[in-house]
């Protein structure tokens, strides 16, 4: 039974996000059709769908079970659609894998070093635990959600009934983890600390890997060098309590860690591609998903996402000499702005 539970959980965090990524990746350029990009897209599609589904259920104080049924059905439908749409992508992935053979030896060695560092970080995340006081809220919220079948209607510190916690209701990362827990039967603390802490590190490096692919597109052999430097940068990033690296390395399973480690770098990844002359439809899809995922992660995104998107829209619009393009870019964060308006109204 335990094996089945772990099997379900690992399926939910490894192949399911990967397959969900097929839809945007199918509409991307040839160079973007990589397994890592698919995995990145899949997670953001998951967060996007969850944010859209969960927030109304939370605000209307519906039961968690209702949300679980609805979201699981949505994921199942999108998954089937993805598998159907992405059936031609396997050929691209095979080609990608074949290219490994053609790499010079020193590049292969570089990748080995990088994977070793990442493996060490992932193993450390599983074998060691880090005290973080905020887990008393985040993980407790997931546990309460699962136990009482309500969302944000219990005080995480006492367990007593509580008015709706609007401040966190728009960023339901703990509810997502409760969903993973409900489907797998594995406790939320185990899901977050022993599984997501490690799996999301892989996700983080996939995002940075895609950034490397874009900025080093004409110096591919330097990609492992960049990735090793990034891995070391994160390893020695505990400069203060507040840095991106500290949040990503010590509490990646919390919404803040997700925002610092994956969402903001993914925004830059999208903007790097959106600044190019020809932009794929898939990249637009990813950008919309990332903007929404920022809200899923933390309410700070209500400020950060419109600011980043707004400034990027102006700069890229000027660069492309197109007001229309700038407006289109800014429109991607409109769902985020609408949620921000709802947040301030409800708050």
Partner 1 sequence: MLDELVAVTKAVAEDVLLYNGNSFLIPLFLIALLFLWVTEKDRKVRVVLLYLVAALGVVFICPVYAWIGMKIDKDVYYRVLWSLPMGVLVCYSVVRLMTRFRLFVSKMLIFVMAVLIFMINGDLVYTKTLHFRAVNAYHIPQEVIDVADAIKLDNYKPIAVLPAELLPYLRQYTADIYTPYGRNMMEPAWNFQNTLYDAMEGDKYAYDVAEVARCARNEKCAFVVLSSGKRMNGSMEEQGYFLFRFVQNYFIYMDYNYYWVYKEQGLLDEDVIEAGG
Q: Does 234 interact with partner 1 (rule: CB under 8 A)?
A: yes
Choice from 49, 79, 230, 333 touching partner 1 (CB under 8 A): 230
Q: How far is the CB of 281 from partner 1 (least distance, A)?
A: 18
**Main-chain dihedrals φ then ψ at residue 2, nearest 5 degrees:** -60, -40
CA 122/CA 81 separation, integer angstroms: 32
Residue 53 vs 298, nearer CB to partner 1:
298
Binding mask 66-105 for partner 1 (x = CB under 8 A): ----------------------------------------
Stretch that binds partner 1, among 52-60, 65-73, 77-85, 131-139 (CB under 8 A): 131-139
Residue 73 vs 311, nearer CB to partner 1:
311
Q: How far is the CB of 20 from partner 1 (least distance, A)?
A: 26
Q: Does 285 interact with partner 1 (rule: CB under 8 A)?
A: no
Q: Does 322 interact with partner 1 (rule: CB under 8 A)?
A: no
Q: Does 225 interact with partner 1 (rule: CB under 8 A)?
A: yes
Choice from 81, 137, 166, 331 touching partner 1 (CB under 8 A): 137
Helix (H) or strand (E) holding 184: helix 173-184
Nearest Cα neighbor of 225 from 118, 120, 122, 114 is 114
Choice from 130, 185, 322, 338 touching partner 1 (CB under 8 A): 130
- The three-state secondary structure class of 127 is helix
Phi-psi region of 160 (alpha: psi -120 to 50; beta: other; left: phi over 0): beta
Please give the span between the terminal C-alpha atoms of the chain, in angstroms, as a whole number: 43
Q: How far is the CB of 18 from partner 1 (least distance, A)?
A: 24
Q: Cα-atom radius of gyration of the chain, to the nearest Å?
A: 20
Name residues whose C-beta falls within 8 Å of residue 214's C-beta, 6 or more positions apart in sequence: 269, 272, 273
Q: Does 157 interact with partner 1 (rule: CB under 8 A)?
A: yes
Q: Does 160 interact with partner 1 (rule: CB under 8 A)?
A: yes
Name residues whose C-beta falls within 8 Å of residue 170's C-beta, 6 or more positions apart in sequence: 55, 295, 299, 339, 342, 343
Tell me which residues in 188-207 interact with partner 1 (CB under 8 A). 188-190, 193-194
Choice from 4, 76, 232, 323 touching partner 1 (CB under 8 A): 232
CA 275/CA 15 separation, integer angstroms: 31
- The three-state secondary structure class of 300 is coil
Q: How many of the chain's residues bind partner 1 (CB under 8 A)? A: 83
Tell me which residues in 238-257 interact with partner 1 (CB under 8 A). 238-247, 249-250, 256
**Main-chain dihedrals φ then ψ at residue 211, nearest 5 degrees:** -65, -45
Q: Does 342 interact with partner 1 (rule: CB under 8 A)?
A: no
Q: Does 182 interact with partner 1 (rule: CB under 8 A)?
A: no
């Amino acid at each position: 039974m335990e094996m089945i539970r772990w099997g379900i959980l690992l399926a939910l965090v490894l192949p399911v996000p990967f397959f969900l990524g097929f839809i945007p990746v199918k509409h991307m350029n040839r160079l973007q059709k990589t397994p890592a990009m698919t995995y990145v897209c899949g997670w953001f599609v998951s967060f996007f769908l969850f944010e859209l589904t969960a927030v109304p259920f939370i605000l209307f104080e519906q039961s968690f079970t209702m949300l679980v049924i609805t979201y699981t059905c949505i994921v199942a439908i999108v998954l089937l659609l993805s598998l159907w749409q992405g059936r031609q992508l396997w050929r691209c992935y095979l080609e990608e894998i074949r290219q490994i053979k053609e790499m010079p030896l020193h590049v292969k060695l570089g990748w080995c070093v990088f994977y070793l560092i990442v493996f060490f970080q992932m193993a450390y995340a599983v074998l060691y635990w880090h005290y973080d006081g905020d887990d008393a809220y985040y993980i407790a919220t997931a546990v309460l959600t699962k136990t009482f079948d309500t969302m944000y209607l219990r005080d995480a510190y006492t367990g007593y009934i509580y008015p709706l916690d609007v401040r966190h209701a728009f960023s339901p990362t703990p509810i997502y983890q409760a969903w993973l827990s409900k489907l797998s039967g594995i406790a939320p603390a185990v899901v977050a600390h022993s599984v997501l802490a490690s799996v999301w590190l892989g996700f983080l490096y996939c995002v940075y890997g895609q950034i490397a692919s874009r900025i080093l597109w004409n110096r591919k052999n330097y990609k492992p060098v960049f990735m090793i430097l990034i891995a070391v940068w994160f390893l020695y990033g505990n400069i203060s309590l507040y840095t991106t690296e500290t949040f990503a390395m010590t509490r990646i399973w919390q919404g803040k860690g997700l925002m610092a480690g994956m969402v903001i770098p993914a925004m830059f990844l999208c903007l790097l591609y959106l600044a190019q002359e020809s932009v794929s439809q898939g990249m637009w899809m990813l950008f919309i998903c990332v903007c929404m995922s920022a809200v899923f992660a933390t309410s700070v995104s209500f400020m950060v996402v419109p600011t980043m998107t707004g400034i990027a829209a102006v700069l890229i619009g000027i660069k492309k000499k197109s007001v229309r393009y700038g407006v289109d870019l800014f429109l991607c964060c409109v769902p985020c702005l609408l949620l921000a308006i709802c947040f301030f109204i409800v708050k």
